[in-house]
Amino acid sequence: MRADQVIIEPIVSEKSTIARENECKKYTFRVDPQANKFEIMAAVKEIFKVEVLSCNVMNMKGKPKYSRGKGGYIKGTTASWKKAVVTLAKGQSISAIEGV
Q: Is 69 helix (H, G, I), strand (E, B) or coil?
A: strand
pLDDT at 99: 67
E strands, the chain, are 7-10, 26-31, 52-60, 64-69, 72-77, 81-88
What are the mean pLDDT values of the chain's consecutive 10-residue runs (100 residues total)? Answer: 94 91 89 97 96 97 88 88 96 82
Q: What is d(CA 77, CA 65) in angstroms, rounded to the nearest whole number?
A: 5
pTM, full prediction: 0.87
Q: Specify the CATH number for the domain of residue 23.
A: 3.30.70.330
Helix, strand, coil distribution of the chain in percent, nearest 5: 30, 40, 35
Is residue 99 domain-resident?
no
Residues 6 or more apart in contact with residue 4 via CB below 8 angstroms: 43, 47
Is residue 100 domain-resident?
no
Number of domains, the chain? 1
Range of the domain at 76: 3-94
29 near 11, Cβ under 8 Å? yes
Question: pLDDT tens across 41-58, in order?
Answer: 999 999 999 999 999 999
